[in-house]
Amino acid sequence: MLKRTKIVATLGPATDSRESIKSLIEAGANVFRLNFSHGESEDHIKRAEKIRDIAKELNTYIAILGDLQGPKIRVARFAEGKIVLAKNAEFIIDVSHDREAGNSSIVGTSYNTLPKEVKSGDQLMLDDGRIQLEIIATNTTQVITKVLVGGDLSNNKGINLKGGGLSAPALTDKDKKDIVTAAKIGIDYLAVSFPRSAEDIELARKLLKEAGGDSALVAKIERAETVNDHDVLDSIILASDAVMVARGDLGVEIGDAQLIGVQKHIINRTRELNRVVITATQMMESMIHNPIPTRAEIFDVANAILDGTDAVMLSAETATGDNPAKTVQAMANVCVGAEGQKLAKTSNHRVDINFESIDEAIAMATMYTANHLKGVKAIISLTESGSTALWLSRIRSGMPIYALSRSIETLRKVALYRGVEPINFDPTALGRHDVNRLAVEELKSRDYVQDGDLVIITKGDSMGALGGTNAMKIVKVGEVN
């Protein structure tokens, strides 16, 4: 059984070698994340070259996702490297304090407008919420707080305002430089961190285009204000090509108790709007050091899959963990197990919606037929841009979708779509009457189908034209001519 849900694996020191990247692909990774928060431009360029070289060697298609750092608001550094904050102690964050000389009473920050953007009674969450502070007063340079939840605090840990509202722009100067690197790599997906509106995504797309890039854009949903207003969330989803449920900062800002409902809404709404969705953060965090996941982690991954996520993401588990390939394999096993459940195969997606394009209407008709006609074993989407494959993948089904395309960029892009398997195939080099037969033979040669199986083919009259899908045909393997 083919795994339908895709796995995004973050590369880092633990997975920098050719052997480790190859092992992740063989274990089930479909997309590699390059975290621009760490490393230099040349590091990312070399990793991308390595990924593509290994994917070619393995005769597979792997997407590369570049993740912009965004305006991560952080405390500065401590003179001793780490401090301990005691409950009820006073702790000051001072924008004018020496950024190398923090102590258990005071620390600096690079976010100079912090005292102006918070007020008495607000709560600051440090280090992904592990440290919680209540603001008791502010002045021109200082935010004076009382420690509600204490503990160890080390250098450069993040600061979030509970409930959201900090005004830091989504794209920093560093991000703008990294966009140029992403364009140079020819990255498949570019993730924009902390977008507040559709305008942030549109600006990133403009800068990417100016740099010569054409990546699909991923909006990382991690601000409270973007999920508190459904109109704002919808506008961000529609401005993007994909969405990431970035549960770390989002959970800190809205509270973990609210996160599960918000996650379900984001996944559902993203699919309704025909975009791709990734679920991320701490999905198998125990496997950073342990060889097997906890039962809670297995349920977490399976829950996201049953909700309809296209992909599940690993961060530190593969970037710095002790068991990168084992973690990917464990996640792949959960994917297959969850996908076998009836809930993962049934859908009423857009059944009461009028379609605006012929491509989408063909895709919806194809999936309805595939789900209800006995004997159908596969769908072949002859696609130039991947759009039909995307629409096909929006409907829950156990039916494998094979995206056959001559475009390497399209084959990499569809590697993120749930249930879609990319296959290199050039219909423009064939006679019109040979296309169906040779497309089916391609699947048969890979043992995906056998004589007697029904296969549904979607294609356009004008082979090689973007957005040209206008036909659906049902054929029987062994009888195609």
Marked catalytic residue, from 52, 72, 162, 220: 220
Per-residue buried b or exposed e for 251-281, using 16+ beta carbons within 10 Å of the residue's own CB = bbbbeeeebeebbbebbebbbeebbbbbbbb
User: Residue 12: how many CA atoms within 13 Å on its side-chain side?
Assistant: 20
Query: Is 281 a known active-site residue?
Result: yes
Query: Is 33 a known active-site residue?
Result: yes
Residue in this structure with the two tokens 């992403």, named with its chain if needed? 182
Per-residue buried b or exposed e for 45-78, using 16+ beta carbons within 10 Å of the residue's own CB = eebbebbbebbeeeeebbbbbbbbebbbbbbbbb
Contact predicate 396/339, CB 8 Å: no
Residue in this structure with the two tokens 């996944």, named with its chain if needed? 267
- Residues with Cβ within 8 Å of residue 179, at least 6 apart in sequence: 68, 171, 190, 204, 207, 208, 211, 213
What letter represents residue 50's amino acid? K
Reading the block at residue 90, the tokens are 């006073």
**What sign has the CA pseudo-torsion 365, 368, 374, 378?**
positive
Residue in this structure with the two tokens 């195939």, named with its chain if needed? 425
Reading the block at residue 190, the tokens are 């570019």
CA 84 to chain centre: 35
Marked catalytic residue, from 4, 52, 74, 418: 74
Query: Looking at beta carbons, which pairs linking 368-372 to residues 24 or more positions away fall under 8 Å?
Result: 368/395, 369/456, 369/472, 369/474, 370/397, 370/399, 370/456, 371/345, 371/347, 371/395, 371/397, 371/399
**3-state class of 239 per DSSP?**
helix
Query: Is 432 a known active-site residue?
Result: no
Marked catalytic residue, from 3, 4, 6, 33: 33
For residue 379, count CB atoms less than 10 angstroms from its CB and return exposed for 0-12, middle for 13-18, buried for 19 or more: buried
Pick the closest to residue 254 from 282, 223, 219 (CA basis): 223
Marked catalytic residue, from 15, 281, 410, 458: 281
Contact predicate 68/147, CB 8 Å: no
Residue 342: CB atoms within 10 A of its CB come to 9
Query: Is 220 a known active-site residue?
Result: yes
Which helix (H) or strand (E) element contains residue 10?
Answer: strand 6-10
Strand partners, 63: 31
For the annotated catalytic residues, the residue numbers are 33, 74, 220, 281
